[in-house]
Structure 1
């Protein structure tokens, strides 16, 4: 009997590191700017100072921050860094927020009309409710080829599908293409969703490719524009 490989949530210090990078990229702090004191930042983020220090040490190691003895912690650079949620484009209207997910359904299905069909292969379809800093913001439906893994269940999936692809399928997403419009929420929206069936929502269709130009995933996202927004930033 095969044991299920339960996905483990990111350690709290790594979650905080991800959130800090999202805030830096959103313009909360700029290169050369000093972050609030550790005590103030830990209080704002509702974590212990020791946990925050692990987050700051991780970002210092990645070259994002610079810690100067007796002076404080400064933003160094986020150029060239690749965070777990680097390609997650939704943000709360009052700040980036930390992405998490609740799995609603995992099933095998044939691709729907208008979707990539991966030569007619049966696909895995994952439906999720997405959160930003514990606020429900979106519904998400993810499709990927069933040939990549024979058996799959909800406990095996964590908050980041891209991390699951890396760790379990040895698939690395290198680029994505998003098409944004408006659509009505699907008929599988749970009662806990901010969107109910038929509600108008922001709508994203995404195709995700590997470095070998292989289409690895197709997804649909319905998001509530009252609580979140789609953000994409370019820099030179």
Structure 2
């Protein structure tokens, strides 16, 4: 799922001969998005124009676009054309892709409001270096803690505890105040403010028990069960830019994923 996309050789510009033609077109389109030729929420040329640009048939273009839509690079808008994915413009599609938590009650939607409890710049721990592939131990990491309130039952009860590790070199100029100003979704914020599109994420889920501090904010007694989700988020250039731990109390919700 997270293997690097096959792109043309930087010097020769040629694709491996074994690559099918539509795969070559896909890689070229991805390359243009990575280079900023086509930016998020930009509309692509139509199929006829793309066929001329890449010197291939419309059928080849159609197949390449279809797969890029399925993989999340592009989105089709009925009657308007094919656009580079924008998490802000296509929030519902983003939400279903990256938020696997659902309310147990099908009549309710799982949506939280969030409060930040800590923001600091730190040196990466050995574990963070390992999980984020960091070799330079002097690299600056932005460490953020947040609490999520779902308001399904008790508006004062914390349902999730969120811990983020961001590589500062990918988020230049990010400050506590700027982070507090973001609304809607983090990934839309990353895309809008830093031109970082989160394309893939690797999630590991484990059963766990709340610690004493978490239990206090959640208003429960220890021991109390929860689920910890460890997420490694990759941008469109396959850089691992965010590590996240989300500890969720599943009294009124569950994890649900369509594979």
Q: How many residues align?
A: 157
Q: Does 1:90 align with 2:115?
A: no
User: Whole-Å Cα distance in 2 between the matches of residues 127 and 138 of structure 1?
Assistant: 11
* CA deviation after TM superposition for structure 1 residue 91, in Å: 1.6
Q: Which residue of 2 aligns with 1:155?
A: 180
Is the contact made by 2:215 and 2:224 (CA closer than 8 Å) also made in structure 1?
Answer: no
C-alpha separation between the residues in 2 aligned to 1:159 and 1:190? 27
Bigger strand fraction: 1
Residue 38 of structure 2: aligned partner: none
Quick check: which one's helix share is greater? 2
Pairing of 1:1-236 with structure 2 (within 5 A):
82-84=93-95, 86-95=97-106, 96-115=109-128, 116-117=131-132, 118=134, 119-120=136-137, 121-133=139-151, 136-147=158-169, 148-153=171-176, 154-186=179-211, 188-189=213-214, 191-193=216-218, 199-234=224-259
Instruction: State the distance in 2 between where 1:122 and 1:162 align.
Output: 20
* 3-state secondary structure, aligned to 1:162: helix
Distance in structure 2 (CA, Å) of the matches to 1:98 and 1:62: 25
Rounded Cα–Cα distance in structure 1 between residues aligned with 2:182 and 2:258: 28
Long gaps (5+) in structure 1: 1-60, 64-80
If the length of structure 1 is used for normalisation, what is the TM-score? Answer: 0.57
Instruction: Please state how far the C-alpha of 1:219 moved relative to its aligned partner.
Output: 0.3
Gaps (5+ residues) in structure 2?
1-75, 79-91
Distance in 2 separating the partners of 1:198 and 1:146: 36
Q: 1:208 to 1:186 in 2, by over 3 A?
A: farther
Secondary structure of 1:203 counterpart: strand
8 Å Cα contact 2:196/2:236 also seen in 1: no
* CA displacement 1:179-204 (0-9 Å, x = unmatched): 01122335653844356786431111
- 1:89 Cα deviation after fit: 1.3
Deviations 1:68-109 (A, max 9, x none): xxxxxxxxxxxxx73356301112221342243221211112
Q: Is the 8 A contact 2:145 2:161 kept in 1?
A: yes
Q: Tell me the TM-score normalised to structure 2 length.
A: 0.52
- Distance between the aligned counterparts of 1:131 and 1:114, measured in 2? 28
Computed over aligned residues only, the root mean square deviation of the Cα atoms, in angstroms, reads 2.8
Compared CA separation, residues 113 and 187, structure 1 to 2 (3 A): farther
Instruction: Point out the more displaced range, 115-124 or 211-220.
Output: 115-124
Once the 2 structures are TM-superposed, how far is the Cα of residue 233 of structure 1 from its aligned partner?
A: 1.3
